[in-house]
Structure 1
Amino acid sequence: MPIPVIDFSMLNGEGRIKTMAQIANGCEEWGFFQLVNHGIPVELLERVKKVSSDCYKLEREENFFNNSTPRKRLKELVEKKNGDKLENIDWEDVFLLSDDNEWPARTPGFKETMTEYRAELKKLAEKLMEVMDENLGLPKGYIKKAFNAGEGETAFFGTKVSHYPPCPHPEMVNGLRAHTDAGGIILLFQDEEVEGLEILKDGKWIDVQPLPNSIVINTGDQLEVLSNGKYKSVWHRVQTMPDRTRRSIASFYNPSYNATIEPATELLEKEDVNQFQYPRFVFGDYMSIYTELKFLPKEPRYGYGLEAVSIAAYLEFSLEAGD
């Protein structure tokens, strides 16, 4: 069962209505879909592939196999021969790119290419948010304004560059444990040759099929809250491979830490008053909970059954209780 593939170029023509409906279905029924003809030049994507692979080879690979915690922990577990699996660690080499952190400096063309790429991804994210506004019946710019805590450009846009190296014992460790994404909209440029990404759909894990030069889109926890559950934040994971390295470049358009996130009033007015209503919280408080509960059931993050207990209060309660 392949996830939806949507031709984004059809949004501005006779196919607009159909394309809008496809994106709505992707957000509501899947939480994941792939965009083709998204407007990002293929030449730029080819450069991104090259500099990210070069960076891993030049600056990351040796350290991962010689000094990384996943490598050491897996070796220790293999030597014990007790059949256990590493439960609290991922077989992943990863670093974050944002506007205010230090980037890899030894890989030729890395900074220039990734700066250009991130600018294109951010524009694509904002176009998609406008489509989501329209599909949800919200004013144009509603989601962007919510994520930016009003006016200005305070939302966080980060890029996570990951590689999943060949694993000698793939049955003993996950590439990335199952989780939902905490933020808003996620744009993933995944490996087109090495599979491994899976989503949970109708109780079954299914592959996110590799597709050349596509951008995989998924909706995070904050869009689930803002849409009061109409859009889905979906569980996903990455499997390890025994003989291949998988590349993954995920960009996140997330709310600023002081943004207040809550279900859109316009949506609540249309819904049954007895329907569950997601809580109102400050995103920074939510992230404090998410850090503790990322790989656990997501309902407690939303305060299910807590009845007027704030996110911050729930965090304090959870830590005191030792959860």
Structure 2
Amino acid sequence: MPIPVIDFSKLDGEGRAKTMAQIANGCEEWGFFQLVNHGIPLELLARVKRVSSDFYKLEREENFIKNSPSVKQLKELVDKKNEDKLENNDWEDVILLSDDNEWPTKTPGFKETMMAYREELKKLAEKLMEVMDENLGIPKGYIKKAFKGGEGDKAFFGTKVSHYPPCPHPEMVNGLRAHTDAGGIILLFQDDEVEGLEILKDGKWIDVQPIPNSIVINTGDQIEVLSNGKYKSVWHRVQAMPDRTRRSIASFYNPSYNATIEPAAQLVEKENSDVNQSGYPKFVFSDYMSIYTEQKFLPKEPRFQAVRTVY
């Protein structure tokens, strides 16, 4: 059962209505879908693949093998002939990129390439937000404005570059444990050769099939709240692989930490317009993130309840 694949280039032509409906279905029924012909230059995507691979080999691989807590703890389990699974660490090497972070400097072309890529993704995310606004029947620009915290603070845009090295005992550790994403819209440029990403659909884990040069989209917890539950954030995970390194680059278009998030008024029935009677609370995103940091791999519903008491 493959997840939906949508030709985004048809959004502005005769196929607009069909494409809008496909995106609505992807958001409502799946929480995940893939965009092809999304407008990001293929030459830029090729450079992103190259510099991210070079970066890992030049600056990260040796350190992961020697110093990663996951490597050490897995070895301890194996040495003890313990058949338990490593539950509190992931077989993942990560670097986070944002506009005000210090960036790697040893990999030629890394910063320039990733900055150009991030700019393209921001534009794609904002176009998707407008599609969601229209499909949900809320004013154009509503989601973007909500994420900015009104007209003032800028929304947060971060990029997580991940590598999942070959694992000698993939049955004993997760590449990345199952979770939903805390933020808004997530845009993933995943490995087009090495599988491993899975989503939970109708109680079953299914693969997110690798498609060259596609961008995988998923909606986070804040979109679930803003849509009053029409668009659900979805559980997903990454499996560790025994013989190949998987690369993925996830970018997150999230609310400003000062933004107040609540269901859009247009999506709350009049008789239930009191936010305390709707399915989701009103809260400041930074409060939600404080809870999420501690509960990322736990059920999401208690997070919503916990943040309700904070606001």
- Is TM-score (shorter-chain normalized) higher than 0.5? yes
- Offset of residue 127 of structure 1: 0.2
CA-to-aligned-CA distance 1:110-151 (integer Å, 9 cap, x gap): 000000000000000000000000000011100000000001
Structure 1 residue 142 corresponds to structure 2 residue 156: no
| Amino acid corresponding to residue 125 of structure 2 in structure 1 | A
- Offset of residue 272 of structure 1: 6.8
Secondary structure in structure 2 of the residue aligned to 1:206? strand
Secondary structure in structure 1 of the residue aligned to 2:174? coil
CA-to-aligned-CA distance 1:243-264 (integer Å, 9 cap, x gap): 0000000000000111000000
- Offset of residue 68 of structure 1: 1.1
The equivalent residue for 2:5 is 5
The equivalent residue for 2:284 is 282
TM-score by length of 2: 0.97
In 1, distance between residues paired with 2:21 and 2:271? 20
CA-to-aligned-CA distance 1:201-228 (integer Å, 9 cap, x gap): 0000000000000000000000000001
- Offset of residue 273 of structure 1: 7.0
Alignment of 1:1-323 (within 5 A): 1-152=1-152, 154-269=154-269, 276-303=278-305, 310-312=308-310
In 2, distance between residues paired with 1:60 and 1:311? 41
Residue pair 2:196, 2:207 contacting (<8 A) in 1 also: yes
- Offset of residue 154 of structure 1: 1.1
Taking a change above 3 Å as real, the CA distance of residues 94 and 222 of structure 1, as seen in their structure-2 partners, is: same
CA-to-aligned-CA distance 1:75-104 (integer Å, 9 cap, x gap): 111111121110010000001000001111
Secondary structure in structure 1 of the residue aligned to 2:89? coil
| Amino acid corresponding to residue 294 of structure 1 in structure 2 | K
| Amino acid corresponding to residue 50 of structure 1 in structure 2 | R
CA-to-aligned-CA distance 1:233-281 (integer Å, 9 cap, x gap): 0000000000000000000000011100000001113787798421000
| Amino acid corresponding to residue 295 of structure 2 in structure 1 | L
- Offset of residue 311 of structure 1: 4.2
Query: Which has the higher mean CA deviation after the structures are superposed, 163-172 or 267-276?
Result: 267-276
Residue pair 1:186, 1:218 contacting (<8 A) in 2 also: yes
Residue pair 2:183, 2:253 contacting (<8 A) in 1 also: yes
- Offset of residue 312 of structure 1: 2.3
Residue pair 1:161, 1:249 contacting (<8 A) in 2 also: yes
Secondary structure in structure 2 of the residue aligned to 1:188? strand
Corresponding pairs, count? 309
Secondary structure in structure 1 of the residue aligned to 2:86? coil
CA RMSD of superposed structures (Å): 1.5
In 2, distance between residues paired with 1:299 and 1:68? 32
Unaligned segments of structure 2, at least 5 residues: none
Secondary structure in structure 1 of the residue aligned to 2:9? helix
